[in-house]
């Protein structure tokens, strides 16, 4: 079956993620122009059928849809600011990691330049692009999302969160926050058992199914938080959730207590405020109202 498409796409930024995005488009048959500051990064993609551009301006002029996957917010402006005129009338999909406010600022910049803007948050590692499990979050122009949805779906499951261009970034960073804190907890456990001769691999064999099972509590916690009633029966109380024994055992093992102490502070803040008999989910209030 012929899989080629007429839509010309340009990808600016060929790090591991940008290269994966471009490769998926080339494989799907889209005419794909690629550019990177270090031109040698494009070699493998060109061998697969991508079209090399000598400059970012040349790449932009070649594409109806321009995909930007650069280092950070500053680098996006560094590359695109001088080329606003070339971008005018095109659609810009920015999948560079930015904060929500940075995404909104870029959307305003794009609108002033006559550019349609769609922001994306990639919930995948490069090897996952185009494979089951890859997910990309979008916000900004609904028309752009609807128009280019078939192409976006080549990278992974596409989810649109609305016209506010900062929402994709907000969801992206919020999900990553949960991931990194979970990973830190795992590594704390690894460090905790290591002095007793337990390998990280042995610990992981126990931790993976345990943590996976515990994520089943998220919907119950969410119901409590959304309802705002932390006295609902069946919850583990904050006083019962005290992490003192974990802290003591960690110190006895000669390791840092920073990861667990952070959670203990959230618990103690609510207990000290008189909420010790309420559910553990109330620590969200310590996060929402610091101080």
What pTM, to 2 d.p., does this model score? Answer: 0.93
Is the domain of 246 the same as that of 147? no
Phi, psi of 85 (to 5 degrees): -65, -35
Tokens coding 31: 């005419």
Spell out the residues 6+ positions from residue 151 whose beta carbon is closer than 8 angstroms to its own: 5, 7, 9, 25, 28, 30, 65
Asked if residue 79 lies in contact with residue 71, where contact means CB atoms within 8 angstroms, the answer is: no
In a domain, 176, yes or no: no
Is the domain of 67 the same as that of 123? yes
At 225, which CATH number?
1.10.1040.10
In a domain, 1, yes or no: no
At residue 2 the predicted structure's pLDDT band, cuts being 50, 70 and 90, is very low
Q: Which domain holds residue 49?
A: 9-163
- % the chain with pLDDT above 90: 97
In a domain, 2, yes or no: no
At 93, which CATH number?
3.40.50.720
In a domain, 147, yes or no: yes
In a domain, 28, yes or no: yes
Spell out the residues 6+ positions from residue 30 whose beta carbon is closer than 8 angstroms to its own: 4, 5, 7, 8, 9, 151
Is the domain of 237 the same as that of 131? no
In a domain, 170, yes or no: no
Spell out the residues 6+ positions from residue 256 whose beta carbon is closer than 8 angstroms to its own: 191, 250
Specify the number of domains making up the chain. 2
pLDDT in tens, 185-237: 999 999 999 999 999 999 999 999 999 999 999 999 999 999 999 999 999 99
Instruction: Based on DSSP, count helices (H) and strands (E) in the chain, helices before strands.
Output: 13, 8
pLDDT in tens, 85-143: 999 999 999 999 999 999 999 999 999 999 999 999 999 999 999 999 999 999 999 99
Is the domain of 126 the same as that of 27? yes
Is the domain of 219 the same as that of 88? no
In a domain, 263, yes or no: yes
Residue 5 confidence (pLDDT): 73
Is the domain of 153 the same as that of 204? no
- % the chain with pLDDT above 70: 98
Map 205-219 to HEC letters.
HHHHHHHHHHHHHHH
Q: Which of 227, 194, 234, 221 is nearest to 281 (CA)?
A: 221
Is the domain of 18 the same as that of 154? yes
Is the domain of 128 the same as that of 44? yes
Domain boundary among 163, 179, 212: 163
Tokens coding 179: 């991931």
Spell out the residues 6+ positions from residue 251 whose beta carbon is closer than 8 angstroms to its own: 257
In a domain, 178, yes or no: no
Is the domain of 14 the same as that of 126? yes
Residue 3 confidence (pLDDT): 47
């Amino acid at each position: 079956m012929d899989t080629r498409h007429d839509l010309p796409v340009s990808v600016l930024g060929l790090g591991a993620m940008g290269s994966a995005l471009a490769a998926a488009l080339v494989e799907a048959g889209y005419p794909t122009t690629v550019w990177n500051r270090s031109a040698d990064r494009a070699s493998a993609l060109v061998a697969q059928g991508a079209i090399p551009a000598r400059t970012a301006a040349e790449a932009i002029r070649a594409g109806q849809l321009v995909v930007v996957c650069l280092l950070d917010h500053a680098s996006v402006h560094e590359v695109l600011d001088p080329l606003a005129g070339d971008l005018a009338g095109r659609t810009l999909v920015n999948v560079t990691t930015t904060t929500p406010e940075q995404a909104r600022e870029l959307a305003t910049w794009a609108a002033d330049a006559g550019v349609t803007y769609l922001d994306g948050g990639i919930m995948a590692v490069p090897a996952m692009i185009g494979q089951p499990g890859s997910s990309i979050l979008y916000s900004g122009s609904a028309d752009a999302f609807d128009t280019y949805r078939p192409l976006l779906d080549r990278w992974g499951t596409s989810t649109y969160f609305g016209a506010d261009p900062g929402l994709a970034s907000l969801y992206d960073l919020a999900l990553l926050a949960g991931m990194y804190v979970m990973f830190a907890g795992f590594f704390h456990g690894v460090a905790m058992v290591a002095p007793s001769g337990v390998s990280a691999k042995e610990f992981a064999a126990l931790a993976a199914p345990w943590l996976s099972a515990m994520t089943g509590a998220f919907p119950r916690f969410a119901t409590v938080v959304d309802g705002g009633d932390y006295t609902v029966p069946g919850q583990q109380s904050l006083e019962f959730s005290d992490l003192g024994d974990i802290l003591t055992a960690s110190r006895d093992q000669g390791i840092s207590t920073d990861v667990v102490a952070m959670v203990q502070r959230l618990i103690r803040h609510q207990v000290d405020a008189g909420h010790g008999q309420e559910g553990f989910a109330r620590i969200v209030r310590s996060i929402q109202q610091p101080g």
